Amino acid sequence: MRVSELSRVLSATTVVLAAFLLSVVRPLHGQGTASGQPASLENTSADSLTESRVGPPPPPLFHADRMERMLSQAEGMTALTSLIVARRDSVLVENYYRGLRPSQTINVKSVSKTLLSPMVGIALRDGLLDGVDQPLTELLPDYYEILAQRGSLDPRKTEIELRHILSMRTGIETASFGNYGAWVASPDWAYDQLRRPMVCDPGDCHEYSTGNTHLLSVILTRRSGKSLRRYMLDELFRPLGIGLGEWDRDPQGRYLGGNNMSLRPRDMLKFGQLYANGGRFEDQQLVPEDWITASWQPTGSSPWNGHGYGYLWWMRRWGGERAYFAWGYGGQFIVVVPRLDLVIVATSSLRARERGHTRRMWRFFDRYAVPAFKVGWGAESRDEGLR
């Protein structure tokens, strides 16, 4: 497909391609158009770009032919509802499909888990938590007392620490998958998670569970003295300009830790860019940079998909690059590729689910999305051991 043909598919993309050919000096700061077309340059001419250059031109932001293939693949995925791509703070693609509007919030499902990770880092920074080695017996003493009174306190549960929740390695049977319905039907979600049997010693196995992240909701609510929603809005979302839509609560009125938050795709992008920028937004260090580093250290891998896992972040290599990602049921993603200064957001319909869509999304990131941006600074991949 020639560039002229691509422009007939996505009209605004011609402006971005022109920027590519001119080796744009300054980034695109727009958020895209209401129609969902890629962001375009405003009030910029070829003459002004030429006059503003000092020294050699910067490298291009993407491969034009690979960009075409990426957009074609995205168009062909029948469950995909949005695709936003930013590199070096430049929004290069913002497309919406199947009737999704930019102003709409969507249920991001388990992307919600990753959104809790910075809240733990902030709580540690502010002294609300002592450290990742803090035992759960100190953080949830009343629940442990109930377990002891009811004779269901496995001694191994006293060895569970905060880091085990963050890495999904508590050793407690999962409350997700086939157990999810019974878990949300229980009168106390935190207790129901803790009363479940141990399937291994703490730290010895990866047992992905929304029950684990709901324990974080209870802990953060108690330690901050605010609802989890208020705490996240005050400390993170409002400074970023992120709005928060509907969000489920448990029978005690506490917000569901790790599932069913509602955000706009544009706000998902802001979160990804915050992490790509080392936790800094404008002149504020919202999330400690060392917390991001710690969160992106692999603690092991999932036995059912092979992806690595850090502190509520998934990780693997896509397109030969180390990628860290938030992942929600049905195909909701925030992908950060630090070496390329790349953030990709993709959302998918929970109604029009396509068989094999999640695996198709993994293939999309690996073969099309990340390779489209492997150009310019540091384009050659380095094998750092993460598969």
* Per-residue pLDDT tens over the stretch 64-114: 999 999 999 999 999 999 999 999 889 999 999 999 999 999 999 999 999
Q: What is the model's pLDDT at position 56?
A: 66
In percent, the amount of the chain with pLDDT more than 90 equals 78
Q: How does pLDDT run across 181-228, given as a tens digit for each residue? A: 999 999 999 999 999 999 999 999 999 999 999 999 999 999 999 999
pLDDT of residue 15 exceeding 80: no
Q: From the CB of residue 241, how many other CB atoms can be counted at a distance below 10 Å?
A: 10
Q: Please, which residues have CB within 8 angstroms of residue 4's CB and are 6 or more apart in sequence?
A: none
Q: Give the span between the Cα atoms of 293 and 324, in whole angstroms.
A: 11
Alpha-carbon Rg for the chain, nearest whole angstrom, is: 22
Task: Write a three-state SS string for 68-111.
Answer: HHHHHHHHHCCCEEEEEEEECCEEEEEEECCCCCCCCCEECCCH
Residue 64 corresponds to which amino acid? A
Looking from the CA of 275 toward its CB, the CA atoms found within 13 Å total 31
Average pLDDT estimate for 158-183: 97
The terminus-to-terminus CA distance of the chain in angstroms comes to: 33
- Decide which of 253 and 31 is more confident: 253
Q: What is the model's pLDDT at position 352?
A: 65
Kindly state the tokens that stand for 166: 């963050």
Weakest-pLDDT range from 2-11, 171-180, 296-305, 313-322: 2-11
Average pLDDT estimate for 228-241: 98
pLDDT of residue 145 exceeding 70: yes
Weakest-pLDDT range from 30-34, 93-97, 294-298: 30-34
Residue 170 corresponds to which amino acid? T
What architecture is domain 111-240?
3-Layer(aba) Sandwich (3.40)
Residue 2's pLDDT band (cuts 50, 70, 90): very low
The pLDDT mean for the chain works out to 86
**318: closest CA among 267, 359, 261?**
359
Q: What is the model's pLDDT at position 376?
A: 65
Residue 131 corresponds to which amino acid? G
Average pLDDT estimate for 23-36: 36
Using the structure block, give the residue that is written with the tokens 């448990």.
250
Query: What pTM value is reported for the model?
Result: 0.84
Interior/surface letters 34-61, b for 16+ CB within 10 angstroms, e for the rest: eebbbbbbeebeeeebeeeeeeeeeebb
Kindly state the tokens that stand for 270: 């802001």
Q: Give the span between the Cα atoms of 80 and 97, in whole angstroms.
A: 7
- 3-104+264-373 topology per CATH: Beta-lactamase (3.40.710)
Q: Where are the domain boundaries for CATH 3.40.710.10 in the chain?
A: 111-240
Q: What is the model's pLDDT at position 54?
A: 58
Average pLDDT estimate for 332-361: 92
**92: closest CA among 171, 178, 30?**
30
